[in-house]
Amino acid sequence: MGNLNGDIEATGKEKQVRPKYHRENNMQNVITRVRNIEFNERVEDVSAKKVKVDLTYKADTTINEPIYFRIDISSKNYNDAKISISNRKIGVKSSTRELEFKLSKSLKSFIDKRDGIKIIYIELAKGVQRGEKDSVSIEINTNGKIDHEGVVVELDVKNPGNLFSGMGGNFRLQSPDKDQKVIGYCLNNIRVAYGRVEFPWSAWQANENTDPIKDAVNGKLIKHLYESIEMARQLKAKGMPVILSCWFPPVWAIDGRPENYKRVGGIQAYRLDNSKKEKIYKSIADYLSYIKSYCGIEIDMFSFNESDLGIDIIHTPQEHCDFIKEFGEYLAKRALPTKLLLGDNSDATTYDFIVPALNDINALPYIGAVSFHSWRGCDDVTLIKWREAARKLNVPLIVGEGSTDAAAYGYPEIFNESTFALYEINLYTRICALSQPKSILQWQLTSDYSLLLGDGIFRTEGPLRTTQRFWNIKQLASTPEESMHIPAKVNKENVNVAAFANIVRGEYALHLVNNGASREATIKGLPDNVKSVRVYVTNSKESMKESKVNVTDGFVRILLQPISFISIFTE
């Protein structure tokens, strides 16, 4: 929507407020709004080669700008494509595949090119009046050569990289009636190597003049605080490192009145009161001291959650650096071993936030790990930058929140989509291959963004049950303990790979995501003493389906199922 030579507003992930998503058999329905125009899009898979799109829009305002249905033509698959436009038909034909768009009525269509991508614009309206509504149907037909060409993966077990402890999880408690059953199921059925819990600071010391340790000992604090401490104890009892992260500050620690902070796009972004810095440091350290002395819990690392963005405490890059130095020194003086996370950024794109501390030698003694969240912007170059930042400081890299769509809680049916599960495991495989993190902490292993359905979770009925996402995470988490990332090369762009080895125990793992049709994979580089492997396959129909394949002279050949996550473990 808008002037193509100026500002354009478009639908997209996290761009709309609370869109609605629903699937019914082969039909997907999305309802969303752009500038007070409601769009209702129904997409039906008619057959393997045909899709029907029914689009309806209704205006609650008057807009004197064109509205378009936009189609991006992939440069990878249609680099040599010729595009033809006639009365109600648009054709796209390359050397290997074809697309045909049939419109239910005559609409103006034209071709544009931006950033190397060919774009087809179908003009739905030149403008709309308040109360106006209209609709169009588009039938999409496809044809082309299906690529079954084999893939070759080469492992380099002689050049191990960083240590991978395994998959971790976030355990921020938000739904008392649902969280524990999901947490229990995940902890009992997935090898979880790292944990992250909430520091309910506003509940810990609501009044700056109270003694929170005394109040905690006497049981005077709210139930949520004790539940959060118990969550940390439960994770520690399983032997995993625990990160403590803070979202909400108490009112007394905020610079100014909370009501003076405007919420923008769901972000509150409170600034801390620098004049109360010592009280702030003492309050947080008192909590660490209390749970160590009275609960036996030693927290490994601390962070303010996404302070680059302000959810809900905001720092400038230099303030983040200063906090690490000052609070780190304060903790050391109190003989508390907790280190600080460098970053814990809202996503990988805000890398510059960590630069001041990254280059400040005085911050280094207090940094326990580098951390980013994987919600968006994880291109190859950026993922490698985060790996190199951790290597520069010689500390681990941790993905503090692993997932792909921060707004998905608003349309939770998407969590059960096979495409959502595939996108997520593709991202994790790429992160492992390029960033070499010590752990990726799934957001979350509670009922929030849950890997499970049923029993009231996301209003779903029936017994508690697993999803494709659950099996993807369980499969990746089955990587041998304390493995090292090892280099792996693959000769196909639509197959992502990540490889691991615990060389001491002679255990090796290879994870592949096949984003295309079925094909044979040849794996090279396994040690000569490996005679057989176990293969696990997860997709929309299979959940860690197991088989056994023999290895000959370091080579193994397996059939990659289409659109699947495949893991190979040596025996």
Predicted pLDDT of residue 145:
92
pLDDT exceeds cutoff 70 at 251: yes
Which residue from 142, 141, 140 is spatially nearest to 55, judged by alpha carbons? 140
pLDDT tens per residue, range 204-224: 999 999 999 999 999 999 999
- How do strand 97-103 and strand 133-144 relate by DSSP bridges? antiparallel
d(CA 401, CA 385): 18
pLDDT at 265 over 80: no
How far, in Å, CA of 525 to CA of 554, rounded? 6
Contact 182, 452 (CB under 8 A): yes
The model's pLDDT over 11-39, given as tens digits with 9 standing for 90+, comes to 888 888 889 999 999 999 999 999 999 99
pLDDT attached to residue 49: 96
Work out the average pLDDT over 104-126.
92
Q: Is the pLDDT of residue 501 over 90?
A: yes
Mean pLDDT of 317-346: 98
Which amino acid, one-letter code, is at 488?
A
Q: How far is CA 329 from CA 275, 323, 520, in A?
A: 18, 10, 56
The answer to whether residue 136 scores a pLDDT higher than 80 is yes
For 551-569, write each residue's pLDDT tens digit: 988 899 999 999 999 999 9
Compute the CA torsion angle 562, 567, 568, 571 (nearest 10 deg).
-140
pLDDT at 7 over 80: no
Region at 502 (left for phi over 0; alpha for psi -120 to 50; beta for the rest): beta
Write out pLDDT tens, residues 31-73: 999 999 999 999 999 999 999 999 999 999 999 999 999 999 9
Which helix (DSSP H) or strand (DSSP E) does residue 322 occupy?
A: helix 317-333
Average pLDDT of every residue of the chain: 96
Which whole number is the average pLDDT over 232-236?
A: 98
Please count the CA atoms within 13 angstroms of the CA of 48 that sit on its side-chain side.
Answer: 4
pLDDT, tens digit, 9 for 90 and up, residues 159-196:
999 999 999 999 999 999 999 999 999 999 999 999 99
| Domains of the chain, start order | 20-144 (2.70.98.50), 151-155+489-570 (2.60.40.1180), 167-478 (3.20.20.80)
Query: pLDDT tens digits for 349-400?
Result: 999 999 999 999 999 999 999 999 999 889 999 999 999 999 999 999 999 9
Q: Where are the alpha helices (DSSP H) in 84-237?
A: 179-189, 201-204, 212-217, 223-237
- For residue 306, pLDDT over 80 is answered with yes
With a cut of 90, say whether residue 74 has pLDDT above it: no
Asked if pLDDT for residue 6 goes beyond 70, the answer is no
Strands (E), 493-563: 495-502, 507-514, 519-524, 532-538, 545-550, 556-560
pLDDT in tens, 446-495: 999 999 999 999 999 999 999 999 999 999 999 999 999 999 999 999 99
125 — pLDDT class (breaks 50, 70, 90): very high
